Structure 1
Amino acid sequence: MFTGIIETIGEVISTTDTSVNKKITINPQKHGFLHDVRTGDSISVNGACMTVEQNDADKFYFTAIHETLQKTNLGLLSTGNKVNLEKAMKPEKRIDGHFVQGHIDTTGEVMNINNLGGTWEFFISFKSSFSDNVIYVGSIAVNGISLTVADIVDDNNEKTIIKIAVIPHTFENTNMKFLKPNSIVNIEFDMLGKYVKRIIQK
């Protein structure tokens, strides 16, 4: 379980493809980020909960299996790419974001980015079949970042487009600053909302 508050950015330093999986090695930018990480621990990588298979003071690696590669943007990663990192939350830690499981629901595409001179607006589209998972000013995790839906711009039979407003701190300390139109992002919808939806549909 995570909070959606990114702790550091990591750089992909190597990827190795197997027949169906992909081994990815990450170097976190924050010094000491891995000091308390052990084999078997969970780390959110662009919002996807991954299991640390091995690590030292400067890097860790994990294996993204076929299902993960199909449902997330991890399959698109290559050497030099930047990813958002967050270690699993501790019970005594304040939840400054919202409950994020690290289970990606779908990917979205960045349609447009507006720089308003101190804040940024990101317009992101995803399949309309997920449209009932978002509400105005509701929580959403984009590449693992806890964000708020500022507006539902379009909602048709093919795709839903939402607007996300990003403050300077989030922009500078996550990989939002590297995104461009057509970038693919991981999306996890609010867990509590999904449970309510499931109960109502039964």
Structure 2
Amino acid sequence: MFTGIITAIGTISKVEQRGDMRCTIRCPFDPAGMAIGASIACSGVCLTVVDRGGEAGDAWFAVDVSGETVARTAKDQWTQGRALNLEQALKLGDELGGHMVTGHVDAVGRVAIARNEGGSTRLEIRAPQDIAPFVAEKGSITVDGASLTVNEVHDEDDGQVRFALNIIPHTGEVTTLGKLTEGASVNLEIDVLARYLKRMQALRG
């Protein structure tokens, strides 16, 4: 489990095809704190550490990315030089600063608007119809691994949903969200509580 509070930005330094894809990611973590088999969310995707090295502040870790994961995540995410939002798995006693995040991508959205508003960045994202029931004003959503609050929701004529977010300067600086441009693909994870409420409602109906 994760909280959606990004603790570092990593960069894919190497991509290898070994059946599944293996990505090596450089990061400012301490390798001693990254156990083999541990989970790290990479732009919202929960992946398993299969190797690691370097030193504190200049470390790297390797993950295997299956074809299924590649197919269900943002376009061109698994390419050399790509910056990724990183969060290590939640430990008992850690502060829950965002919301409960599983690291499973529910859909890929597309940035429709990215513009400056009063020093912050306004993002509007279009998302597929199947997650529309789970996107609510003032509810939580995870975008590329970052926990965010939905400001506005608009249901489109084609069934898709369009929602607005406010990215404050700090969040823009410590995540990749400040560099998003219109047309960019992003990984989306809906609030896990909304998922269970929808299921309960369906069974009652």
- Taking structure 1 as the reference length, the TM-score comes to 0.94
Which residue of 29, 52, 58 corresponds with 1:55?
52
Identity of matched residues, %: 33
Deviations 1:78-113 (A, max 9, x none): 111100000001110110100000011011011111
C-alpha change, 1:74 and 1:64, in structure 2 (3 Å) is farther
Q: 1:141, 1:188 within 8 Å by CA — same for their partners in 2?
A: yes
Deviations 1:153-173 (A, max 9, x none): 343334211101111111100
Offset of 1:199 from its aligned partner?
1.1
Offset of 1:75 from its aligned partner?
5.3
Where does the alignment leave 5 or more consecutive residues of structure 1 unmatched? none
Mapped pair 1:78 → 2:79: yes
Deviations 1:161-195 (A, max 9, x none): 11011111111000012211111100000001101
Q: 1:22, 1:75 within 8 Å by CA — same for their partners in 2?
A: no
Mapped pair 1:184 → 2:181: no
Mapped pair 1:23 → 2:22: yes
What code does the residue aligned with 2:184 have?
S
User: Counterpart of 1:196?
Assistant: 197
C-alpha change, 1:108 and 1:142, in structure 2 (3 Å) is same
Q: 1:128, 1:155 within 8 Å by CA — same for their partners in 2?
A: no
Where does the alignment leave 5 or more consecutive residues of structure 2 unmatched? none
Question: CA RMSD of the aligned region, Å?
Answer: 1.4
User: Counterpart of 2:106?
Assistant: 105
What code does the residue aligned with 2:102 have?
Q
Bigger shift: residues 165-174 or 9-18? 9-18
What code does the residue aligned with 2:96 have?
I
What code does the residue aligned with 1:102 have?
G
- Taking structure 2 as the reference length, the TM-score comes to 0.92
Q: 1 CA distance for matches of 2:72 and 2:187? A: 8
C-alpha change, 1:91 and 1:77, in structure 2 (3 Å) is same
Deviations 1:96-143 (A, max 9, x none): 100000011011011111101411110111111210011111000000
Q: 1:128, 1:156 within 8 Å by CA — same for their partners in 2?
A: no
Offset of 1:17 from its aligned partner?
2.8
Give 4+ residue runs of structure 1 displaced > 6 Å after superposition.
none
Q: 2 CA distance for matches of 1:72 and 1:33? A: 27
